[in-house]
Amino acid sequence: MDETISSLSRIELKIIPFLGKSIEEIITLSGLDRTTVLRAMKFLENKKILEMKLEKRKIVSLGVNGIYYKKNHLPERRLLHLVESRNHIPLKEAEKESGLSSNEFKVSLGVLKRKGFIELKNGKISLSAPKEEIIKKFPEESLIEILPIEESKLDSGQKKAMESLKNRKEILELTDEKIISYELTPKGKELAGKEIKSDLLEEVTPEMIKTGIKGKKFRKYDILAPVPRIYGGKKHFVNQSIEYAKKIWLELGFEEMSGPLTDSSFWIFDALFTAQDHPAREMQDSFFIKNMKSKLPDKKIVSRVKTAHEKGIDGSEGWQYLWSEKEAEKILLRTHTTSLSARTLAGLDLKKLPVKFFSIGKVFRNETIDWSHGIEFYQSEGIVVDEKANFSHLLGYLKEFYRKMGYEKIRFRPSFFAYTEPSVEIEAYHPERKIWFELGGAGIFRPEVVSPLLGKAIPVLAWGQGFDRIIMDFYKIKDLRELYSNNIKKLREIRAWTK
């Protein structure tokens, strides 16, 4: 026992007098916080003084809507009160007078019909149950009143009511509660309740080193005792992935492009020969900044873009419509990073060709958020401006990039994109799923894009691919939203990007 005592830390010594009491009592009597007490008990468990027990139980409690409904009645009860006061009420009037949302009203109709309390006939709602049945509490109402409660304590009727409410938005919440308890070992029973004094030293201090120590001993340390895992700081895995891809492009001799997240319609659409009545420019697809406009670039460039749209250029017929500067001045969140390519081409010195540029940046689309779509995502963009460039060079650059990203099997399929011709889609083979999946699009910029920006038609290889899909594939992420959920446990444990 003396050997055990010589290894006890200060926090262990502080709780030993209260062993045998509940954990809550130990916290109160020792004056230590819960975390410190539990840590001390874990140390004592390692020394075979006590045994910790962890019990998990499910607790059923009220969600946001459940709290509201407990105070203001369930929607079906409110609708039932209305029908009771105004029997044979038209459906539209009932929905309006009930004060329920459209969804609540529909759910309430279904619930009351299943319970046999109402019937729908000739577009009207009428009661179909006796008053004594109507005034009884619904099982769901009774359940709401007793929450929170342990799930295992619910009877069969209450469990049925719980299942009914679980399918409805934010009425119930099921959470796991951890119950920690302990039992003393024979060794622990010998020590429990004792006040143990110790003058053993805990640590080496600068003062001890200066003056020295005599006649005192250090507490015995168990170097094999388990300790909490320490997580060092690191970059977010999305940023790691982006840096890895940037390194590849830089090694291939590319320069990085950068530019604003919000830009004018001129650079995002017009300079890329996207007609001003194209569906992609509508509010349904893009986030426009209200009551703001941008200054257009050099008049020569604007004039050449206008001509390309209205009459055509280099043999093209254009779009044959009246191009509007006012429309081009509108500001929006960029829908692709190709706006950076347009800006870069407009500022090029033709004497310095050939040149190669890339970017990896965020773009924004007005999408419905689900497992495969988000309103913002990363795109990898690139251009090669070279009078001797050809389509084979384009395929070579893309194949080399994706090979370095870990994709051994790459194939290309002919496709159509608005501002490149010829155009191609890049696909990679997934060895685990045994399928080919799309990575992005590429091509050679059309003369209608290049001539207005450079002043003459020069081959410009171009590509733009969604980068989030590559990240998801590497990290085995099934839902796009997980990329930005910032679950601290996952962020600590996720592996580094290495290929």
The domains of the chain, with CATH numbers, are 2-49+185-211 (no CATH), 62-175 (1.10.10), 239-493 (3.30.930.10)
For 192, the 3-state DSSP assignment is coil
pLDDT band at 374 (very low <50, low <70, confident <90, very high): confident
Q: 381: closest CA among 286, 443, 462?
A: 462
Distance of alpha carbon 147 from alpha carbon 129, whole angstroms: 29
CB atoms within 10 A of CB 429: 14
Q: What is the pLDDT of residue 61?
A: 92
**Token reading at 114:** 């299943």
DSSP 476: T
Percent of the chain scoring above 90 in pLDDT: 44
Q: What is the pLDDT of residue 255?
A: 95
Which contiguous run of DSSP H or E holds residue 88? Answer: none
Given a contact cutoff of 8 angstroms between Cβ atoms, the answer to whether 494 and 231 are in contact is no
DSSP 154: -
> What is the separation of C-alpha 102 from the centre of its chain, rounded to a whole number of angstroms?
29
* pLDDT exceeds 50 at position 113: yes
Q: What is the pTM of this model?
A: 0.60
* pLDDT exceeds 80 at position 186: yes
Distance of alpha carbon 478 from alpha carbon 489, whole angstroms: 17
CB atoms within 10 A of CB 455: 14
The mean per-residue pLDDT over the stretch 147-172 comes to 89
The mean per-residue pLDDT over the stretch 90-115 comes to 88
Distance of alpha carbon 69 from alpha carbon 169, whole angstroms: 12
Using CA atoms, how far residue 51 sits from 12, 33, 216, 312, in Å, is: 14, 20, 32, 83
- Residue 354: cis peptide before it, omega within 30 degrees of 0: yes
Distance of alpha carbon 158 from alpha carbon 73, whole angstroms: 18
pLDDT digits (tens, 9 = 90+) for 397-440: 999 999 888 888 899 999 998 889 999 999 988 888 788 888 88
Distance of alpha carbon 375 from alpha carbon 377, whole angstroms: 7
For 234, the 3-state DSSP assignment is coil
Distance of alpha carbon 334 from alpha carbon 286, whole angstroms: 8
Q: What is the pLDDT of residue 480?
A: 82
Q: What is the pLDDT of residue 122?
A: 86
Given a contact cutoff of 8 angstroms between Cβ atoms, the answer to whether 474 and 494 are in contact is no
pLDDT digits (tens, 9 = 90+) for 243-298: 999 999 999 999 999 999 999 999 999 999 999 988 877 766 788 998 888 999 98
Q: 462: closest CA among 402, 499, 490, 422?
A: 422
* pLDDT exceeds 90 at position 444: yes
Which has more pLDDT, 258 or 486? 258
The mean per-residue pLDDT over the stretch 217-223 comes to 79
Q: 471: closest CA among 496, 493, 488?
A: 496
The mean per-residue pLDDT over the stretch 189-198 comes to 86
Given a contact cutoff of 8 angstroms between Cβ atoms, the answer to whether 259 and 360 are in contact is no
**Stated length of the chain:** 499
Sign (positive or negative) of CA dihedral 67, 70, 76, 78: negative
Q: What is the pLDDT of residue 1?
A: 47
Q: What is the pLDDT of residue 423?
A: 93
pLDDT digits (tens, 9 = 90+) for 297-334: 989 999 999 999 999 888 888 999 999 999 999 999 99
What's the longest Cα–Cα distance across the chain? 99
Distance of alpha carbon 496 from alpha carbon 352, whole angstroms: 38
CA atoms within 13 A on the CB side of 275: 13
Sign (positive or negative) of CA dihedral 492, 495, 497, 498: positive
